[in-house]
Each structure stands twice: as structure tokens, then as C-alpha cells.
């Protein structure tokens, strides 16, 4: 059984954005990705900073980026359940259990893991989250299409993932955390 700070379930824009922010800022992060993202059916013309890019090519770039920051990306690993364990969460997969202090759910419109975890839903039948993307289950976050009725945009999902990770980092650091780089950071 492996232990990590942040377990991300889903490898689309929301999940990879959460993983990027968490790992880039020192949290041990693992993602589970079955590669069922809608991005393989998309072409990006409406993603800020990208003039035109095929969705699959975008995913390749995003995956490479998170791996460069040390994310343990488990491509093809199916998550079968997420449960609270007293110290955080147990993420059960087809290759064993993984313990995490925080969990970020980024499974598109598939909401069964959140429902089984005990997350509350809104009247619109989406997962109830606050502005930080935290669900009604403490330290469990939900992002993207699972929290929005018919608002399935890659750029919105990526922002949701970033919001979740920044809240986790705020909790870990004990003060409001901002991930703001300057040109000098790139050198």
C-alpha cells in the first residue's frame, strides 16, 4: 500500500491541473487515469493561450508537464472506490490500495465515486462544492463536469483543479497560498 499527500482520480484537464499545482509546490501527488477524457474528441480554439491544438496533443503536453514536476501518473489504472479511513482516504484501484491525506475527484460526469464517498449533491444533481472545490466531505474535492450542470469546458475544469490544489496547499501551509511565478523562476 502506498501513501501520498494528494491522490487525484482522473487525468483530464481538471485532474492534471490539480496534480501540477500540488506537485510543483512540494506535495507528493499521484494520479489515476483511464484515458477516457473527452479531450480526445476536442479541438481547442477557446483555451486561453492556445491558438489551436488537437485535444489529444494537449493531453500529451499536459501529461509530460505533470511528470516533469514529479507526479506519479498511473495511466490505465482504474479506481474502484474511495473511502475515508480516519487519517484521510483510501483509494482502491485494480493494482491495490493507496492512502492519501487529500483526494481530488476529476472523473468528468461520472459521479459514483463521490456519491459512494458520501458527498452531498445539489438540486441540479451535481456534487455540492464551495469556491475552493471542497465537497461536503472534508479534504475531498470535486472538479470539472461533476460539479457543473452542462458546463463542460477544458479551461473551466483546469481552473477547478487549480482551485482545489491551492486550497490543499493553503491547508498544508497554514496560510493563504498563491502559486505565482516570475520570469526569474524560469531561469
DSSP secondary structure string for all residues of 142-164:
E-GGGGSSS---HHHHHHHHHHH
Residue 179 lies in a domain: no
> Does the pLDDT of residue 1 top 90, yes or no?
no
Indicate if the alpha-carbon torsion angle 138, 139, 145, 148 is positive or negative: positive
Confirm whether 180 is domain-assigned: no
DSSP 118: T
- pLDDT tens per residue across span 51-79: 898 878 988 999 999 999 999 999 999 99
Q: In this predicted model, what pLDDT tens digit does every residue of 104-116 receive, in sequence order?
A: 999 988 999 999 9
Q: What is the reported pLDDT for 109?
A: 86
Confidence of residue 150 (pLDDT cuts 50, 70, 90): confident
Over residues 8-23, mean pLDDT: 95
Count of structural domains, the chain: 1
Q: What is the mean pLDDT of residues 111-137?
A: 95
Query: What range does the domain containing 43 cover?
Result: 6-173
In a domain, 58, yes or no: yes
Residue 11 lies in a domain: yes
pLDDT at 6 over 80: yes
Whether residue 52 lies inside any domain: the answer is yes
| pLDDT value for 172 | 95
In a domain, 178, yes or no: no
Q: Which grid coordinates are listed for 143?
A: 472538479
SS3 content of the chain, % helix, strand, coil (to 5): 35, 25, 40
In a domain, 110, yes or no: yes
pTM for the whole structure: 0.93
Torsion of CA 113, 117, 122, 123, to 10 degrees: 80
Cell of 27: 506535495
Q: What is the CATH number of the domain that holds 73?
A: 3.50.50.60
Residue 184 lies in a domain: no
What is the structure's pLDDT at 120? Answer: 97
Amino acid at each position: 500500500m502506498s501513501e501520498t499527500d494528494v491522490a487525484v482520480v482522473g487525468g483530464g484537464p481538471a485532474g492534471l491541473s490539480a496534480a501540477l499545482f500540488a506537485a510543483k509546490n512540494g506535495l507528493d501527488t499521484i494520479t489515476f487515469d483511464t484515458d477516457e477524457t473527452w479531450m480526445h474528441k476536442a479541438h481547442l480554439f477557446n483555451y486561453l493561450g492556445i491558438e489551436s491544438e488537437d485535444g489529444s496533443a494537449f493531453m500529451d503536453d499536459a501529461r509530460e508537464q505533470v511528470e516533469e514536476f514529479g507526479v506519479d501518473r498511473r495511466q490505465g489504472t482504474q479506481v474502484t472506490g474511495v473511502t475515508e479511513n480516519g487519517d484521510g482516504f483510501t483509494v482502491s484501484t485494480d493494482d491495490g490500495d493507496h492512502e492519501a491525506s487529500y483526494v481530488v475527484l476529476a472523473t468528468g460526469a461520472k459521479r459514483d465515486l463521490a456519491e459512494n464517498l458520501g458527498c452531498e449533491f445539489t438540486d441540479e444533481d451535481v456534487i455540492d462544492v464551495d469556491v475552493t472545490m471542497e465537497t461536503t466531505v472534508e479534504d475531498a474535492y470535486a472538479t470539472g463536469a461533476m460539479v457543473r450542470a452542462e458546463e463542460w469546458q477544458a479551461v473551466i475544469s483546469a481552473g477547478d483543479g487549480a482551485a482545489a490544489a491551492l486550497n490543499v496547499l493553503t491547508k498544508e501551509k497554514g496560510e493563504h497560498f498563491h502559486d505565482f511565478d516570475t520570469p526569474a523562476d524560469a531561469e
